[in-house]
Chains A and B, each alone.
Chain A
Amino acid sequence: MISPFIQALYYSMTNWTGFSPNMQFIGLDNFVRLFNDSTFMQAMGNNILLAIVVPLITIVIALVFASMITVGGASHGQVRGLRGSSFYRVVSFFPYVIPAIVIAILWSMIYTPSGLLNGVLGVFGIDTNQFAWLGEQSTAMGATIFVIVWSMVGFYMILFVAAIKGIPAETLEAARIDGAGRFRTVTSILLPQIRDNVQTAYIYLGIMALDAFVYMAGLNSTGGPSNSTLVMSQYLFRTAFEKGQFGLATAMGVVLAVITLLFAALVIGVFRLIGGKDEGGRA
């Protein structure tokens, strides 16, 4: 299980092309080459943008929905959820079970000039003039981010609903008796209590966004207009299996792994920083 990873580390320091028997050890040259490669740096920038924006939007939407479902009900008596919320739960979980590549292909069709999006906007009287959402540099990234958020919100909503349900009912009741409204209940009771879940969700989503290969492959397999949606994993794949520069490609893999680890560490650090004061209040 672990051996491919160790092998990867070794390959990353060679100039191996995969099929030639001679493999030279060239130390860190591959990494130097990568950091001088403007395309790779752009891909890395895109990845970092994704890793910051995607989790943020997804988690905010998922949290809002989850709190609506759990505390949106009647404000008297017990704290109750919204009526008929199971319907929303089932529906919004849908995208999670669809293959990511199919989601990407589906949305690439929705975004085409004569696709669903322009059609819907046309109904509301907005003439988009056959706008190609993925073909313009200004909208390609935004459109891509929306697709990823669309596919992820449901899962994290369910996750947060489950976490909120795990809060003891007495705590919520006590807050209600103390006169806390819904908004106050959410901000001062729910959020601190499910902080750990939010942190985990942030890390998972970030890792997913640092990869993002599947979505990109389906939406814009060539990297988008002037590489505006190119991500590292795509570049890695191209370098390895199209150009055959396996040494260089594994070096990219190592960079990607290091960034992933740094990201996870950063998120944990930030959460500890902002959550440190109510450490004792957790159930």
Chain B
Amino acid sequence: MSTETRAAVTIDPKAERRRGSRPDPVTRTTKATTGDKVVGGISHGVLAIWSLIVILPMVWTLIGSFKTTTEIFKSPFGLPAQWNFDNYISAWVGNSFGRMFLNTVIVVGVALVLVMVLGAMCAYVLARFSVPGSRVIYYLMLAGLTFPVFLAIVPLFFILQGMGLLNTLPGLILTYVAFALPFTVFFLFSFFKSLPYEIQEAAYVDGASEWRTFFQVMLPMAKPGMAAVAIMNFLGLWNQFLLPISLNTSQENYVLSQGMASYASSAGYALDFGEMFAAVMITIIPVLIVYILFQRQLQGSVSQGTSK
């Protein structure tokens, strides 16, 4: 670093002299901006094209969800003859996407609350106290994070069968909690570790019990981290696909993601595309709302993950 700075000092006047030979400073600025304009223009162009590639399919789906199947096949760009919510209603009621929606909300909601409470407690203890075997638990969590889910899927199937929880919502909730826990603990571990020790000690001195310290002092301080993890978990669980299709196969317990898949494959070419698009929108809208509301925290959590 220091050598670089020294080099900068020696080169700087030279560069200055070179620039000084030009007639006046005004040309200098204009020359710089032409270069900037080219680079900026190309960058904007490329990024705009990519944005278009991202947005176009979504807009197409949105418009398609209002069209009838014949209209969809006639032209990919045409607007629907009349704007109504027929597709949405038939998807929601006729194809029971409404029930799936409710199932998904229940499963994801309960699992999210459980995993956040358990994860925060677990991470707090691992990060703040020297419990015997805490390192072992930490490394087991880390292992759970790295192993592919696929390796566990068959044994998991029989564990749940043994417990009588196969094809039930509580069974699915339990698996979701187990699979989201390693990530939650891992992320919150480093977060709790970075909180100042003095405040914890101050709470003790003031006579707070361990529980009170945790819930009233440490947990509120960990709020930003908790929010980021909760959002990540929400998206991950809402989008979960493999676990439900292998562990939750009875029709009335379907969650949205697997309902979509079974609808798409069962209907084959006789598919009602308009309804399909509507179902896609029903699945996407909740996550998009969460994303737009918490966009800043989410991107912040990504950057936080890198600095660790």
Contacts and interface: CB of A to CB of B under 8 A. Distances in A.
B10 to A, nearest CB: 10
A154 interface: yes
Contacts of B303: 158-159, 161-163, 165-166
A114 B238 CA distance: 30
Given A7-B155, A8-B152, A69 B47 contact: yes
A88 B154 contact: no
A253 B50 contact: no
Given A68-B43, A99-B257, A218 B264 contact: yes
A99 B151 contact: no
B8 A174 contact: yes
Nearest to B77: A119
Interface string B259-284: 01100110000000100110010011
Interface string A1-44: 11111011001000000100000000000000000000000000
Interface residues of B, number: 87
A114 B73 contact: yes
A58 to B, nearest CB: 12
A5 B291 contact: no
A254 B58 CA distance: 38
Contact of A257 (B61, B140, B148): B148
A236 interface: yes
A217 B257 CA distance: 12
B302 A1 contact: no
B47 A97 contact: no
B285 to A, nearest CB: 10
Given A91-B54, A105-B260, A240 B153 contact: yes
A163 B299 CA distance: 12
A109 interface: yes
B83 to A, nearest CB: 20
A210 B55 contact: no
B118 interface: no
B299 A89 contact: yes
Contact of A74 (B36, B48, B287): B36
A150 B73 CA distance: 25
Contacts of A161: 303
A100 B239 contact: yes
A133 interface: no
B190 to A, nearest CB: 15
B242 A214 contact: yes
A207 to B, nearest CB: 7
Contacts of B106: none
Contacts of B72: 114
Interface string B133-158: 00000001101100111111111111
B60 A110 contact: yes
A253 B154 contact: yes
Interface class of chain B by DSSP: helix
B105 interface: no
B261 A68 contact: no
A229 interface: no
Interface stretch (B27-35, B194-202, B210-218): B27-35
B250 interface: no
B76 to A, nearest CB: 3
Contacts of B75: 119
Contacts of B40: 72-73, 82-83
Contact of A5 (B32, B44, B147): B147
B33 A74 contact: yes
A111 to B, nearest CB: 11
A2 B143 contact: yes
A148 interface: no
B246 interface: yes
Nearest to B307: A166
A253 B264 contact: no
A240 B152 CA distance: 12
A105 B280 contact: yes
Given A82-B40, A182-B39, A253 B151 contact: yes
B11 interface: yes
A2 B136 CA distance: 12
A113 to B, nearest CB: 9
A155 interface: yes
Contacts of B36: 73-75
Q: Which 8 A-B pairs have the closest CB atoms?
A: A162-B303, A119-B76, A99-B239, A4-B152, A68-B43, A7-B155, A4-B155, A253-B151
Given A97-B290, A177-B8, 14 more contacts: A2-B144, A3-B155, A7-B155, A69-B43, A76-B29, A82-B44, A88-B47, A99-B239, A101-B239, A120-B76, A159-B303, A177-B12, A217-B241, A240-B157
Interface of A: 1-5, 7-8, 11, 18, 64-65, 68-69, 72-76, 82-85, 87-95, 97-102, 105-110, 114-116, 118-120, 150, 153-155, 158-159, 161-163, 165-166, 170-171, 174, 177-179, 182, 197, 207, 210-211, 213-214, 217-218, 221, 233, 236-237, 240-241, 246, 249-250, 253-254, 256-257, 260
12 contacts: A8-B151, A18-B158, A65-B47, A82-B47, A92-B51, A97-B287, A99-B284, A106-B57, A159-B306, A253-B148, A257-B151, A260-B148
